[in-house]
Amino acid sequence: MKDILTIFKIAIKAIWINKMRSALTSLGIIIGVAAVIVMLAVGEGSKAKIEKQMASMGSNLLMIRSGSTTSSGARAGMGAQPTLTLKDAYAIEENVPLVTQVAPSVSGMGQIVYGNQNWSTQITGTTPALFYIRSWEVENGSLFTADEIRQGSNVAILGQTVVENLFGVVDPVGQTVRIKNIPFKVVGVLKSMGQSAMGSDQDDTIIVPVTTAMKKLIGSQFPGTVNNIMVQTASTEDLAQAEEDITILLRQRHNITGRKTDDFMVRNLTQMMESAMEMSQTFSLLLAAIASISLLVGGIGIMNIMLVSVTERTREIGIRMAIGAKSWDIRLQFLIEALVLSLSGGILGIILGIGAALIIKNFFPDLLPIAITFTPMLLAFGFSGIVGIFFGFYPAYKASMLNPIDALRFE
308 binds other proteins (CB under 8 A): no
Among 307, 319, 368, 389, contact with other proteins (rule: CB under 8 A): 319
17 binds other proteins (CB under 8 A): yes
1 binds other proteins (CB under 8 A): no
Which residues of 11-84 form beta strands (DSSP E)?
A: 61-66
49 binds other proteins (CB under 8 A): no
Among 139, 201, 204, 329, contact with other proteins (rule: CB under 8 A): 329
Which residues of 67-210 form beta strands (DSSP E)?
A: 99-114, 117-126, 138-141, 155-158, 176-179, 182-190, 205-209
> By CB under 8 A, which span of 4-12, 86-94, 256-264, 335-343 interacts with other proteins?
4-12
- Residues with Cβ < 8 Å from 132, sequence gap 6 or more? 101, 232
* DSSP output for 249-294: HHHHHTT--TTPPPSEEEEEHHHHHHHHHHHHHHHHHHHHHHHHHH
324 binds other proteins (CB under 8 A): yes
Minimum distance, C-beta of residue 324 to other proteins, in the bound complex (Å): 3
Minimum distance, C-beta of residue 313 to other proteins, in the bound complex (Å): 9
Element (H, E) at 71: none
397 binds other proteins (CB under 8 A): no
Measure Cα distances from 273 to 66, 230, 303 in Å. Answer: 21, 15, 45
Q: Which amino acid is at 346?
A: G
> By CB under 8 A, which span of 1-9, 171-179, 348-356, 361-369 interacts with other proteins?
1-9
DSSP letter, residue 191 = P
Among 267, 281, 316, 397, contact with other proteins (rule: CB under 8 A): 316
322 binds other proteins (CB under 8 A): yes
Sign of the Cα pseudo-torsion (213, 216, 219, 222, in order): positive
User: What is the radius of gyration, based on Cα positions, of the chain?
Assistant: 33
Query: Which ranges in 59-209 belong to alpha helices (H)?
Result: 75-79, 86-95, 128-134, 146-151, 160-167
Which lies closer to other proteins via its Cβ, residue 137 or residue 312? 312
Residues 57, 269 contacting (CB under 8 angstroms): yes
Minimum distance, C-beta of residue 306 to other proteins, in the bound complex (Å): 18
174 binds other proteins (CB under 8 A): no
How far out from the chain centre does Cα 215 lie?
39
6 binds other proteins (CB under 8 A): yes
328 binds other proteins (CB under 8 A): yes
Among 315, 355, 367, 378, contact with other proteins (rule: CB under 8 A): 315
Measure Cα distances from 351 to 152, 245, 288, 368, 382 in Å. Answer: 59, 55, 17, 19, 15
Minimum distance, C-beta of residue 333 to other proteins, in the bound complex (Å): 10
Which lies closer to other proteins via its Cβ, residue 126 or residue 400? 400
326 binds other proteins (CB under 8 A): yes
321 binds other proteins (CB under 8 A): yes
Residues that bind other proteins (CB under 8 A): 2-3, 6-7, 10, 13, 17, 315-316, 318-329, 404-405, 408
